[in-house]
Amino acid sequence: MLDAVFKYQFLQNALAIGLLSALICGIMGVIITEKKLLMLSGGIAHTAYGGVGLGYLIGIQPIIGALIFSTASAVVIGKINRTKRVQSDVVIALLWSAGMALGITFTGLMPGYPPDMNSYLFGNILSVSHSDILVLAVLSFITLSVYIIFQNDWKAYLFDTAFAEISGINTAVLEYTLLILVALCVVALIKAVGIILCLALLSAPAASAALFSKTLKGRIILSVILTLIFNLTGLTLSYYFGIASGATIVLVAILTYFILLFVTKGKCK
């Protein structure tokens, strides 16, 4: 495959996406799993499908529609989660379903044949463009910058929210920032693994890293490395066997996690 990389632009683009998505997944995946926000992240991810459908319907870039929908759902979920007036899991489930339903409805309202939405649902890292790389590079830079700026606050927030508040940290700002970053992360991963599969790429590398490192920094670094390995391995397998790239990357990540879990738990015994 190495020779093919130098020949084909689409493989070079895929490698760039794999590298950038590893950076954003490594950071966000660890924070999300530590704060037990995986299902919440799944809800945000699936509402993005409504934005993709709206983008097609009104003639804008579907990825912009996904960004609008996922960010809006992140703010709504964050607001409800803090007020405690309604069960957050109920709202997440409803937004999850509404996003998927709206995506189907919007594409169904389009004249003529509806567009193929599979690449947004399941991803296709081999079809990314220069503009996709640019968008992901900007999102990765934003994620990395925010993490560095709030690094100490994140540690206190993840350790104990009440302790963070007592320490004078504005946990509301951190929580909304985290949810919006989740929305950006989802949009960044759509072209790589798709809306449905992005939750696995956020959780599997972070969970694997947690088996070997107890520090936040260590987990993030290891998670970035593992995500990159999963991306490259899945991309290589999909290239040689002609199978879906997004699904292959996710299966590699999940299989590796269970192997590592079995090996580490076996050693503990």
For residue 130, what are the domain limits? 2-262
Within-domain flag for 240: yes
| Two structure tokens written together for 201 | 């790429």
The pLDDT assigned to 3 comes to 56
Count of domains forming the chain: 1
Distance CA 106, CA 127 (A): 24
Within-domain flag for 267: no
The pLDDT assigned to 266 comes to 64
Q: What tens-digit pLDDT sequence spans the chain (269 residues)?
A: 555 555 667 777 788 888 888 888 888 889 888 888 888 888 888 899 999 999 989 988 888 899 899 999 888 888 877 776 666 678 888 888 999 999 989 988 888 777 777 778 887 777 777 877 888 888 888 888 888 888 888 778 877 777 777 878 888 888 888 888 888 888 888 877 888 888 888 899 999 999 998 888 899 999 999 999 998 898 888 888 888 888 898 999 999 999 999 988 766 55
How many Cβ atoms from other residues are within 10 Å of residue 16's Cβ?
A: 18
Within-domain flag for 228: yes
Within-domain flag for 268: no
Distance CA 16, CA 10 (A): 10
Residue type present at position 39: M
Q: Write the CATH number for 76.
A: 1.10.3470.10
pTM (2 decimals)?
0.85
Q: b/e per residue, 193-227, with b = 16+ CB within 10 A?
A: bbbbbbbbbbbbbbbbbbeeeeebeebbbbbbebb
